[in-house]
Amino acid sequence: MRQPAHGGNLAWAAALAGCPPSAILDFSASISPLGPPNSALAAIESQLGNLRHYPDPDYGELRLALSHFHQLPPEWILPGNGSAELLSLAGRELAQLAATALITPAFGDYYRALAAYHAEVLEFPLSFGTNAQESFVIRHLSVIHDKGLLLNNPHNPTGKLFSREAILPYLKDFALVVVDEAFMDFLPPEQEQSLVEVVQEYPNLVILRSLTKFYSLPGLRLGYAIAHPDRLRRWQLWRDPWPVNTLAAAAAVAAVADKEFQEQTWAWLPAARDQLFQGLASLSGLQPLQSAANFLLVESQQSSSQLQQKLLKHHQILIRDCLSFSELGDRYFRVAVRSGLDNQRLLEALSLVISDESLVIKRKDN
């Protein structure tokens, strides 16, 4: 079976670990351990009888719920079959420009969405070392107004949060700026740096959001784009009429209204992330990076693909190697923040695997 380029490939992991997929403790996909919210599950159940009808092609109720959530008119919001579907539509738009700037290491699906429409890609490295300044700089582009920019905030895989002010100047220069905010909802309202509040001032801005991570709904496929209504109307003509199914639409309406679940997540994450960060930092040869999201990128003195294989075979734990990010290679891995108990299990397993590895290295030295 091929090495997966995304996290969360449990079939691949189970084949390696020699156990059923359900026995794998998955730290590779950055999904909240708290969900899905009961409100979303109840909404799905309540809609089972409606499966005999097509969904509303305008997704009126869902757009209204999202418009209340973001304080925006509904026509500025377009739901999609996961943010991945909307990323493909953004890729089609970006491909019409002279080139698209990516901040690297970049989420692998950006390359897919851009390559699908033969877009020209320009890469700009983020300074992300443990002591590096938390910013990106796009230099050496003499002509910008014919180009696009695609980035995520918080940044995956580093977990860095760019301030609103760091991104705003690029909106003045680039023809189109697509900001993927798939992890932004993990920040409480007083800390988030979303561009949603300025979107109506910038017709060249597209924001992508996802219900996958925060609400633990990767299998449902629900995301949305926030952008100028003219652009979203154009996108609707490019895609099939009912990309979001009835169950996903109902679950999303319930999820975004679920203030209790949102508060619970904001209360859980900082302490759980800190526990995992401190635990990882205390292990020999590992250095986690500070993160604003629900995952940590970890620099490792040992081969992370070997750590991954040992964790799988001996502990049925899956971490995300970073081989698919060419800038990171085998010296980094990424882990999701999970419950306190799960995080502890990972830390204990890592400790065993690492000490085993250092014995091997010592023996070689002797």
Ligand X SMILES: Cc1ncc(COP(=O)(O)O)c(C=O)c1O
Nearer to ligand X, 85 or 342 (CB): 85
Please state the closest distance from residue 84 (CB atom) to ligand X, in A.
3
Rg (CA), the chain: 21
Please state the closest distance from residue 315 (CB atom) to ligand X, in A.
24
Please state the closest distance from residue 106 (CB atom) to ligand X, in A.
9
Compute the residue count for the chain. Answer: 366
Q: Which helix (H) or strand (E) holds 147?
A: strand 147-152
Q: Which helix (H) or strand (E) holds 173?
A: helix 164-173
Nearer to ligand X, 84 or 168 (CB): 84
CB 251 within 8 A of CB 44: yes
- DSSP tag of 26: E
Nearer to ligand X, 13 or 353 (CB): 13
Nearer to ligand X, 31 or 354 (CB): 31
CB 154 within 8 A of CB 297: no
Pick out residues in 153-172 that bind ligand X (CB under 6 A).
Answer: 156
Please state the closest distance from residue 359 (CB atom) to ligand X, in A.
36
Nearer to ligand X, 107 or 235 (CB): 107
- DSSP tag of 3: P
Say whether 78 sits in a helix, a strand or coil: strand
Please state the closest distance from residue 208 (CB atom) to ligand X, in A.
7
Pick out residues in 66-85 that bind ligand X (CB under 6 A).
Answer: 82-84
Contact pick of 93, 151, 153, 180 for ligand X (by CB under 6 A): 180
Contact pick of 107, 162, 186, 325 for ligand X (by CB under 6 A): 107
Pick out residues in 242-281 that bind ligand X (CB under 6 A).
Answer: none
The position carrying tokens 């003195």 is: 301
> Binding string, 222-241, against ligand X, x = CB under 6 A?
-x------------------
Pick out residues in 122-151 that bind ligand X (CB under 6 A).
Answer: none
- Counting residues that bind ligand X (by CB under 6 A) gives 12
**41 exposure class (CB count in 10 Å sphere: 0-12, 13-18, 19+):** middle
Please state the closest distance from residue 156 (CB atom) to ligand X, in A.
4
Please state the closest distance from residue 284 (CB atom) to ligand X, in A.
29
Dist CA 82 CA 210 (whole Å): 6
Determine, following the binding rule CB under 6 A, whether residue 324 of this chain makes contact with ligand X.
Answer: no
Nearer to ligand X, 250 or 252 (CB): 252
Which of 83, 80, 127 minimizes the C-alpha distance to 107? 83
**312 exposure class (CB count in 10 Å sphere: 0-12, 13-18, 19+):** buried
Q: Where are the beta strands (DSSP E) in 25-64?
A: 25-26
Residues in contact with 1: Cβ distance below 8 Å, sequence separation at least 6, in sequence order: 11, 12, 15
- Which positions touch ligand X (CB under 6 A)? 82-84, 107, 152, 156, 180, 182, 210, 212, 218, 223
